[in-house]
Amino acid sequence: MKCSRNCKRIDLEKLNLDFKHADYMFDCGDLVVVVEVTSRSKLEDVDKLDNTIRWLYNQRESRRHSNFVGILHCFREVSPHVSKSLSARMQRARKHGMRVTYKTASCEDHLKHSLRKYNIIC
């Protein structure tokens, strides 16, 4: 899949990571967008996004110049409890100097719209 902005889509399942992680990511150099796909939002899904972004942050040499976006792509409505957790984790990460934004997407069109905001069009 070819994307604009010189982004590479990476299937995280193929990396055989030894922790619970998100499904895939777009690596665009200074921007990394991590996506977790789920049918029903759970706190475990938030953990997967958070774990993956923290791991990527620690792996990147240029982490001070990197922006991270975590998108929880649910096929059903996101629970208020999960939304609050995403917001709290985003604030905590920012306190530690990470540039992280967490979002939700409720359908395929909503996800595509979120990706277009970052100039990722696949």
The pLDDT mean for the chain works out to: 87
Predicted pLDDT of residue 50: 93
Place of tokens 């923290």: 54
Give me the sign of the Cα torsion angle 70, 74, 79, 81: negative
- 6-42 confidence digits (pLDDT tens): 788 999 999 989 999 999 999 988 899 999 999 988 9
With b for 16 or more beta-carbon neighbours within 10 A and e for fewer, the 74-106 pattern comes to beeebeeebeebbeebbeebeeeebbbebbbbe
Condensed to tens digits (0 to 9), the pLDDT of residues 73-88 reads 998 888 889 999 999 9
User: What percent of the chain has pLDDT above 90?
Assistant: 52
Whole-angstrom Cα Rg for the chain = 13
Nearest to 68 by CA among 37, 103, 38, 18: 103
- Provide the whole-model pTM: 0.89
Cα–Cα distance, 89 to 98 (Å, whole number): 11
State the pLDDT at residue 1: 43
Please tell me the CATH code under which domain 4-117 is placed. 3.30.750
Report the interhelical angle of 43-59 vs 80-95 (nearest 10°): 20
CA 101 centroid distance within chain: 8
Query: Domain spans of the chain?
Result: 4-117
Residue 122 scores a pLDDT above 70: no
pLDDT digits (tens, 9 = 90+) for 50-79: 999 999 988 876 556 689 999 999 988 888
User: What's the pLDDT score for residue 79?
Assistant: 86
